[in-house]
Amino acid sequence: MNNIPKLTLLTLLLLAMTTSMSNVAIVTMLPHLKDYFKDISNIEFYSRLMLTLPSLVIALLAPILGHFIFKFGKKKSVVIALFFFSLFGSAGLYLDSIESLLISRAFFGISVATLMIVSTSLVGDYFKEQDRHKFMGYQSAFMAFGGVFFVMGGGFLSDISWRFPFAIYLMGLVLLPLAFYNLKEVKFDDDKIEQTVHINSNILIVYFLGFFFMLIFYILPTQIPFLIIEKFKASGSLAGIIIATAFFCNALGAIAFSKLKTKFNYVTIYFIGIFLMAIGFSFVGLINNVHYFFITSPILGFAGGIMMTNVTAWMLSKTSVKKRVKSSGYYTSAIFLGQFLSPVVFHPIIEKLSDIQDFFLVIGIFLFLIIFIFVVKSLFLKMK
C-alpha cells in the first residue's frame, strides 16, 4: 500500500463512494415524490422504482460492460462514466414527468455499473490479499461515511424541495479530473497469466450470496423511510439522520471485517452478518417509538458493512488477474439485481400485511431460521 500514491488511493476511495451514493442521495425524497405526482396511479411503486431501476439496468448490463471495459480500458471508461453519472444523476433537477425521470435513472445506472466494476477490479490490481482486506475495509468505511453525508444532505434538501437532492450527483464532475490525473492501469505480463476466462461453480455461489445479502439489506433504504415518515410521522431530515446512523455503523462493520477475517473464514463471517440483520429487523418489527430506530439502524448498518466487504473480498479471492474485470462485472450484476428485486419481491408481501411493521418482524424471523439451519448443519458435519 505504501508504493501507491496517496492521491491515487484517495481517488479510489472517492470512486467507491459514488457507487454507494447512487441511490441513497434521493432515498428520503421518495415519499415527497408521491405527493408531487399524486394524480398518477401506482406512484408509490414508481417512487420505489426510482431507487431501484438503476439497479436493474446495472444487473442486466454489468457483465457486458465488464467485457467492454476489459477491451476499452479502465481509466478511459471511468472518466466517461463520471461525466454521465453527473448528467443523468442530476436530471431530477429539471425533468418534470415520471416517465422521463425513470428513463434518466436507467441511463444513470449504466454509469454506476461502470464505476463499480472499475473501482472493484482496480483494488484487485493494486493490492495483494492482506493489504486488499485492509484497504477494502477503509474503502467500505469511506463509502459508508459518504453515505452518512449524502443521506443526511438529501434528507434536509428533500424537506425544501423533492428536486434538490438530485444536485448531489453533480459531484461526479468534481471527481472527473481526479480520476483522469491519478488513476493508472496496472500492466500484467500476458505470459504469466491465464488466457482463458470462465466462471467456475465456486464463484457462482459467491455471486448468489452477494445477491441474497443485497435482496435483504436493501429493505433498509426502500421500506424503512416509508415506515418512519408515514407511520411515525417523522420529517425527511429526521429520517435522513436515522438512515445516516446505519451508514456510520456500516463503516464500523467494514473496518471490523479485516479483524474478523484473521479469526473466521468467509462463510462464518457471512452468517455472523445474517444473525445481526435478524436481530435488527426483528427489533424494527417491535418498536413503538421513532427514536428506537437509532438502535435498530446501527445494528443493520454494522451487519451490512461486514457482509458487503466480506462478499466482495471473497469474490476477488476467487478470481485471477485476467478474469478480474469480467468477474467484477458478473458480481456487480448479482449485487444490483438484489437491489432491484428487493422492493419487487417484498412489495406484494407488504400489501398483504395489515401493518408494514409486521413485515420487518417476518423478515427477522426468517433470517433467524436460516441461522438455525446453518448452526444445525455445522454441528451435524462436526459429529460425522
CB 38 within 8 A of CB 149: no
Question: What confidence score (pLDDT) does residue 311 get?
Answer: 93
24, 23, 21, 32: which is closest to 234 by C-alpha?
Answer: 32
pLDDT for 27: 75
Q: Which residue ranges of the chain lie beneath pLDDT 70?
A: 1-2, 20-21, 129, 187-201, 320-322, 384
Q: Which amino acid, residue 196?
A: T
Query: Is position 1 within any domain?
Result: no
Distance CA 64, CA 113 (A): 10
- CA distance linking residue 242 with residue 292, whole number of Å: 10
Please state the pTM of the whole predicted model: 0.76
- Cβ atoms of 141 and 251 closer than 8 Å: yes
Task: Identify whether the C-beta of residue 331 lies closer than 8 Å to the C-beta of residue 214.
Answer: no
**CA-based nearest residue to 353, from 225, 229, 231:** 231
The whole-angstrom separation of Cα 324 and Cα 207 is 14
pLDDT of residue 367: 96
Is residue 60 included in any domain, yes or no?
A: yes
| Residue 193 forms part of a structural domain | no
Q: For residue 189, is it within any domain?
A: no
Structural domain boundaries, residue 37: 6-184+200-383
The answer to whether residue 250 is domain-embedded is yes
Residues 6+ apart with CB under 8 A from 381: none
pLDDT, one tens digit per residue, over 39-57 is: 787 787 788 788 778 878 8
pLDDT of 280? 95
- Structural domain count of the chain: 1
Does some domain include residue 194?
no
CA distance from start to end of the chain:
44
Residue 103 one-letter amino acid: I
Q: Is residue 191 part of a domain?
A: no
The residue type found at 278 is: A
Q: What is the CATH number of the domain that holds 343?
A: 1.20.1250.20
Q: What is the pLDDT of residue 49?
A: 80
Please indicate, yes or no, if residue 367 is contained in any of the structural domains. yes
Nearest to 248 by CA among 299, 307, 174: 299
